[in-house]
Amino acid sequence: MKKVIISSANLRNGNGIASCIMSYYDGLLNRGYQVDYALLSNVPSPYMQYVKKRGGKKYIYPHNTGKPNKENAQFIRDILKKENYDIVHNNLTGLNGVVFLKTAQKCGVKKRIHHSHNPRETSSIKARIRSFLFDPICAMLSTKRLACSSLAGDDVFGKNKYTVLPNAINPEQYKFDNEYRHLFREKYGLNDKLVIGTVCRHAEQKNPFFIVDVFKEILNKNKNARLLWVGSGPLTEAVQKYIDNNNLHDFVVMLGARKDANKIYSAMDIFFLPSLFEGLGMVYIEAQASGLYCIASDVIPTDTAVTNNIEYISLKKKAGFWADKLITHQNCKGSRDDNLDYLKEHGYDLRYCGDQLAVIYDSL
């Protein structure tokens, strides 16, 4: 049995990186791999429970920090020496990624993967410096490079220097469900409303305050509109305050983090998310799987265009422009096209590519 340890910030179900690596978990076990996890934080989740049920081990870092920490390095060193892993698969960025890969190299682990899930960070000067310093080091320390999209790969590794591993899903779980749509909308008083939907963390990357600005413009044009928001995060309190300050409290349904987000797409009429950056942006693909038209920012990788139901808009455009686009493409019919075959064609159907990561491991 070959042994692999995968690093990640956590295994929270709403974490896109966690969802990606867990989507291939069963395929790895079926090919005879023992899969363990090194995590920055211990966040209880169904993923964590499933790993435990299947016999996987979890190791939680002593300190969740991006600063130099000898105790974290020693922690990883002790694990690697004790367990004799054949492969390390790094999903951490910055100094944490460097420490994980460098420690594995020093411990004699020959097969070291660095997995890019985002392009280089540009959200702040500090983020730019961090990416400029540590992304190349992580690439140099790896023996195999993976990326979730061509943008995430080209930006971090350079063209043709990596393998794209799609963030595959089971599209049947996202298929439009008219019965669920009716029950959900009735429960939240949305039956006769134009439901603008978004699924994202309340974090700077997702541009949450602009989401509110756009919805306010929509509401000015259509008093029947409602914003349905799935997600939570470090800016939740600030976002809620911004909603209240704009007198939008009665028009926004804040659902928080949900385990059933795949079903909630059915309750929406259109989806939008004006992210400042994404390595891929699985929510756009999930929304299309549910038959929704999507409005995305123009920094989103075009790998997300698995159907014709997505449009990319410049972040330089004002909120009113975004609002007009959303109103133009609204769909209140309650019926949607079946887009599942499109996901299969583009390599995002987990039923047909669930062993793809195992194949990559086998090739090392």
What domains sit in the chain, N to C, each tagged with a CATH number?
2-168+349-363 (3.40.50.2000), 171-345 (3.40.50.2000)
pTM as predicted:
0.86
Checking DSSP bridges between strand 194-199 and strand 58-60, what pairing results, if any?
Answer: unpaired
Alpha-carbon gap, residue 41 to 80, rounded angstroms: 19
Q: Counting every residue, how long is the chain?
A: 364
What is the pLDDT at residue 335? 55
Give the DSSP letter of residue 114: E
| Residues contacting residue 215 through CB under 8 Å, at least 6 positions apart | 196, 225, 227, 248, 251, 252, 323
Tokens of residue 333, six digits:
């019919």
Q: What is the pLDDT of residue 358?
A: 96
Largest CA distance in the chain: 63
CA angle 283, 287, 290 (to 5 degrees): 145
Rounded CA-CA distance 58/18 in Å is 13
Alpha carbons 119 and 303: distance in angstroms, whole number: 14
Q: How far apart are CA 4 and CA 361, in angstroms?
A: 9
C-beta of residue 214 within 8 angstroms of C-beta of residue 251? no
Q: How many Å apart are CA 234 and CA 222, to the nearest integer?
A: 30
Residue 181: predicted pLDDT: 96
Token output for 158: 């350079």
Q: Can you say whether the dihedral through the CA atoms of 197, 202, 207, 209 is positive or negative?
A: positive
Q: For residue 204, how many other CB atoms are within 10 A of its CB?
A: 16
Sheet containing strand 87-90, edge to edge, reads: 58-60, 33-39, 2-8, 87-90, 111-116, 144-147, 163-164
* Per-residue DSSP letter, 284: H
Report the chain (364 residues): mean pLDDT per 10 consecutive residues. 96 87 95 97 93 97 86 97 98 95 98 94 74 93 96 94 92 93 98 96 96 98 97 96 98 94 96 94 94 95 93 98 93 65 89 92 97
Residue 352 has a pLDDT of: 86
Give the amino acid at 208: P
Residue pair 7/91 in contact by the 8 Å Cβ criterion: yes
Sheet with 310-313: strands ordered across: 252-256, 225-230, 194-199, 270-273, 294-297, 310-313
Beta strand segments in the chain, E: 2-8, 33-39, 58-60, 87-90, 111-116, 144-147, 163-164, 194-199, 225-230, 252-256, 270-273, 294-297, 310-313
Q: In whole angstroms, what is the distance from residue 284 CA to residue 310 CA?
A: 8
| CA dist list (Å): 158 to 20, 130, 152 | 22, 18, 9
